[in-house]
Structure 1
């Protein structure tokens, strides 16, 4: 018979043979003993942790008529047939190559038929996360209403890719990574059964290189046996795994801890010249520093034998490097490891890394040296006393300066009042843009613009809407609108924002179909601007005779009332409803001033009063 790999020859045939999965095996055995067998299971976990092996053992245990304590006998015909993969009622499917809807439909159709030899028909679907969406939907119906005497066992390394509708219909078992100690003991047992000589340190190296996978550990052990002519030696294990010996790591670490950068560079080059991989070197160094940190916290947290070092080595290393330095080293190693993934010259990164690691503690010492010298120097006490006296004097001076403004508090309000005056001088209003709008402004245009104001704001960005939240149109014509801001600094901010002006004009054009120019004014200056416009255009030059009855147009805006000069602000009286005609007090024969006021601000606001 041809040679078989170790992981195939020593594949677990009983639940007790599974390494490091005591919780899973105990639960499955109890389910078999108590006959509480579910119709579907999900085995999830990293590669090489025994998922498929557990599925086959479970298939044997539920169909074995001579099972004891939930374990299959492995002697009956059914157990032997399942072990050899010759039982038709136990079907193992690789979902990576059979991930279509037709394959799952075929399983669904055949699952309806009763088993031929065994008590249960068991479907083992490996790498189930590779199924397509349609295949999952086809499988879902079968899991929801399973036929009698059919068990589905789904195995996957990526359970997050499985739909929740599938997971909710199965019993999930999470397989954990195999610990280094469990992998070491399993390899030791196999080598003892094979009567092969081995070095325990080599087994520790292989167990660490497997990274939690028992199958990976046995594959590496197979390579080492082939390389060293059916022996397991430490040097051969290091060569096969690409790991760095603990003694070389110890030498390198001692050199960087003593800030001997040049010597550490030579040691690092010796390690690379032996064919060690740069990424593997960093991983081994991180694992080495991790062992040191755990030993510093508590020596019982790690197994010294598994590290390849002695207790005396740890005691020597711990004295050289405090935990803060080790944390900084790990940060540097992680950064370099990430950068080395995208480079073709790892040697350069490793050289830079070595220099950085050698300088970490020296930088810390330079910061701590002055304090240490002060603490040990007898003259330091005098220096400290002088510094304390100077600090007290400075604190008293600062306190006096803080108290001084409170005693003379009158000038401060003047300074604060003067500051807004300077800011008000900076507020500039462009009358050349305002007057053309007022010359053609009508009340109806203003009403139309205010009705569209909310829609226009929705077309702007959120920051622009927040800026216009404290503004409102106060005049409008067919060629433009005037927008008043409650606060001068917000007006200045809006006036300097050319993008805001363009967006507002574009939004108004989209809503009205006409191009309109937008002009900003501060609210506190708007009444004055309005009055100046009326005077500049000759409204109010005509003075009625004393004996004639005087009628002055008065525009009411909140609490502000001004004779003759029409005014309008944001707080205006409600507009006339449909069908309501303006007041009859104003006739076509009124003077030019009243007619102009009605045109600008609306006849519903302008009143004619006799003085």
Structure 2
């Protein structure tokens, strides 16, 4: 075979020829100059960044008798033999096909013998992460106690797959992706040496498509030269890489920014008809929007990359772009790119993508104006609520200032429910049929669980809903329901009629605690009376089957105050605390007192359940 690929012909033979890794080359050269050569090295990094080339140059430099400043001479017999791969003391092994224990044991056994021609015996194990667990264990002992004059160089693209015991016994060098600028300069040098005509824009397209790998760049350049009969043109580079022209890309982005869906669809159809790769088109779009964001924040970063897209039209698009919309567009591009992996009709996805981001832009371009309008609307609503609140407070003050007739409630032989206090003209009647079942099963643990998740739930609501729920608090909870108290009656009325708010709260509880409880709303000013009425109602139900107390018992003064209300009415048998949770009654049950009267305390043994 007379022809060799460019990346083989132009493989670096000296550290100075290694592109894009100045720190690594300088360190390796100083290691050789100062004779501080380690027994094992690990070269890790992306493909095509010079790992294997650096390993061969290092093998030549440590064995070259004419080495100068850490560089091999490439003229002696040892350098030439290593370059041609014929020196027995430099062994290059592909771990992908020699990953068994036997191969590594063979290396371990042969490493004991001294080198025949060179000063050091060098083992270069490429793609070392492909070794099996047993092979790593066989290699570990040799790396821990290496023979004299033996150097191991391990190269890998996936260092995270190597055992920590292997990595800790090597000097690690991380090869970085090569910058497009360095790739461009190297391709220009090679083409000038070959006396090949080229278009500067074509080399920029190839440099971007290489994604930081010099070998990939030279392979694409080789293919472009073959396609164009040893002439590298911009059109040929676009055809080979499947990329879209910068002008067409800019035109498409401009049409999307101006919500011209029809024109954007026509541009997509041109791209598909031209045979461009759909995935590459999305990659180009992501890169374009990425550079748009970078240009808005740091224009010099885009200019330094020399990507060939910074023209007047690009600057105008970047200036007018809305950053939040670009974030959403990039997310949509990533989602579509994932979906296109398994489709046979990528043009459909491209058209759907076009409509989606163009219509998304309709709200995004005017985002600032929309936000201002929404803020203005919210401010007006808040002012109206403040006025209504002031009027409501004044009404309450006026009502409280009027003298009210005092009445003495009549004692009856049977207990009667306490009278309900009149509220300050509520506009909505509280639904007690929903609240009472919750109070029947309310517990402290349920309320604590609701309260612990309340702040997170409110934070996840939108601005309007969050401002409304900031003045609400959970006051009672069971395993299936929650009672929320509102500081002001006007906000209680607004919450009761807001179906979207109720759904949002239910969804929030379902996400945080695992279920959506039934919600009941009450005004704070009515909550105390509701609790009191609930326990009076519960007492009535509990005493329904008991004989009515005598007149003397009914008129006897009570020894305990009511925990649910503020007056001196009868205390319910199971008081409720301020948070709406059942607690153990402090006084003994009436049945115990009655039993003591009948049988005496001496023979009575009371046990709590």
Q: TM-score range by the shorter chain?
A: 0.5 to 0.7
The structural deviation recorded for 1:209 is 0.7
The whole-number CA distance in structure 1 between the counterparts of 2:365 and 2:108 is: 71
Question: How far apart, in 1, do the equivalents of 2:285 and 2:207 lie?
Answer: 16
Equivalent positions of 1:229-248 (< 5 A) are 229-248=229-248
- How far off is 1:420 after superposition? 4.0
Is 1:396 paired with 2:511? no
Q: In the alignment, what sits opposite 2:249?
A: 249
Alignment of 1:426-445 (within 5 A): none
Q: Does 1:92 align with 2:92?
A: yes
1:351 Cα shift? 1.0
Question: Could you say what secondary structure the match of 1:67 adopts?
Answer: coil
Residue by residue, what CA displacement relative to the aligned partner does 1:23-73 show, whole Å, maximum 9, x if unpaired? Answer: 111110010000000000000001111100000000000001111110101
Q: 1:420 to 1:210 in 2, by over 3 A?
A: farther
Deviation at 1:399, TM superposition (A): 5.3
Structure-1 residue corresponding to 2:164: 164
Give the whole-Å Cα distance in 2 for the aligned partners of 1:63 and 1:105. Answer: 25
For residue 253 of structure 1, report the CA deviation from its aligned partner.
1.0
Deviations for 1:308-334, whole angstroms, at most 9, x for unmatched residues?
A: 335322233234423333223222212
Please tell me whether residue 318 in structure 1 is matched to residue 302 in structure 2: no
What corresponds to 1:474 in structure 2? none
Question: Could you tell me how far 1:524 is from its partner in structure 2?
Answer: 9.4
* Structure 1 residue 360, shift from structure 2 partner: 2.5
1:165-204 to 2 correspondences below 5 Å: 165-204=165-204
Q: CA deviation at 1:307?
A: 2.9
Q: Which residue of 1 aligns with 2:328?
A: 328
Q: Structure 1 residues 141, 356: closer, same or farther in 2, change over 3 A?
A: same
CA contact (8 A) 2:257 2:365 kept: no
Counterpart-to-counterpart distance in 2, 1:262 and 1:141: 68
User: Which range moved further: 54-63 or 417-426?
Assistant: 417-426
Contact 1:225 1:231 survives alignment (8 Å): yes
3-state SS in 1 of match to 2:352: helix
| Distance in 2 (alpha carbons) for counterparts of 1:345 and 1:526 | 79
For residues 528 and 178 of structure 1, do their structure 2 counterparts lie closer, same or farther at Cα, with a shift above 3 Å needed?
Answer: same
Distance between the aligned counterparts of 1:407 and 1:15, measured in 2?
Answer: 95
**TM-score, with structure 2 as normaliser:** 0.67
1:360 aligned to 2:399?
no
- Tell me if structure 1 keeps the 8 A contact 2:60–2:82: yes
Query: Pairwise mapping of residues 171-570 of structure 1 onto structure 2 (< 5 A)?
Result: 171-303=171-303, 306-364=306-364, 390=384, 392-397=386-391, 413-422=528-537, 563-569=602-608
Shift of 1:527: 7.1
Unaligned runs of 5+ in 1: 429-485, 494-521, 541-551, 555-562, 571-611
| Equivalent residue, structure 1, for 2:459 | none
C-alpha separation in 2, matches of 1:47 and 1:404: 82
Query: CA shift at 1:295, angstroms?
Result: 2.0
User: Given that residues 45 and 176 in structure 2 are in contact (C-alpha distance below 8 angstroms), is that contact kept between their aligned partners in structure 1?
Assistant: yes
1:494-527: CA deviation from partner (whole Å, max 9, x where unpaired) = xxxxxxxxxxxxxxxxxxxxxxxxxxxx999997
User: What corresponds to 1:441 in structure 2?
Assistant: none
CA 1:142–1:256: 2 relative to 1, 3 Å? same
How many pairs are equivalent?
A: 457
User: How far is 1:336 from its partner?
Assistant: 1.7
Matched residue SS, 1:275: coil
1:438-466 CA-to-partner distances (Å, cap 9, x unmatched) read xxxxxxxxxxxxxxxxxxxxxxxxxxxxx
Does 1:79 find its partner at 2:118? no
Change (3 A) 1:264 1:148: same
Deviation at residue 242 of structure 1 after TM alignment: 0.5
What is residue 147 of structure 1 aligned with on the other side?
147
Moved more, 37-46 or 351-360: 351-360
Q: Distance in 1 between matches of 2:399 and 2:343?
A: 63
Cα gap change, 1:72 to 1:304, in 2 (>3 Å): closer
Structure-2 residue corresponding to 1:511 = none
Q: Distance in 2 between matches of 1:328 and 1:384?
A: 25
Does 2:74 match 1:35? no
Q: Which has the larger radius of gyration?
A: 1
For the 8 Å contact 1:202–1:234, the answer to whether it is kept is yes
Answering whether residue 108 of structure 2 is matched by residue 69 of structure 1, we say: no
Residue 120 of structure 1: aligned partner: 120
| Two-structure CA RMSD over aligned residues (Å) | 3.9
Q: How far did 1:259 drift?
A: 1.0
Output one character per residue of 1:351-405: Cα deviation in whole Å (capped at 9) or x when no partner: 1111122123322456655788999xxxx9xx99998974652352365589899
Distance 2:262 2:209 in 1: 30
Whole-angstrom CA distance in 1 between matches of 2:92 and 2:575: 77
Greater CA deviation, 323-332 or 213-222? 323-332
In structure 2, the CA distance between the partners of 1:348 and 1:113, relative to structure 1 (3 Å rule), is: same
TM-score normalised over the length of structure 1 = 0.67
Contact 2:31/2:37, CA 8 A, preserved across alignment: yes
Instruction: Please name the residue that 1:606 is paired with.
Output: none
Q: 1:523 to 1:206 in 2, by over 3 A?
A: same
Aligned partner of residue 292 in structure 2, secondary structure: helix
Task: Look up the SS of the partner of 1:36 in the other structure.
Answer: coil
| Conserved 8 A contact 2:303-2:310 | no
Measure the CA separation in 1 of the matches of 2:379 and 2:21: 66
Alpha carbons 2:78, 2:87 under 8 Å: kept: yes
Mapped partners of 1:209, 1:117: distance in 2: 43
What's 2:436 paired with? none
Task: Report if the CA contact (8 A) 1:246-1:307 is conserved.
Answer: no
Hey, what does 1:586 align to over in structure 2? none
Contact 1:243 1:280 in 2 (8 A): yes
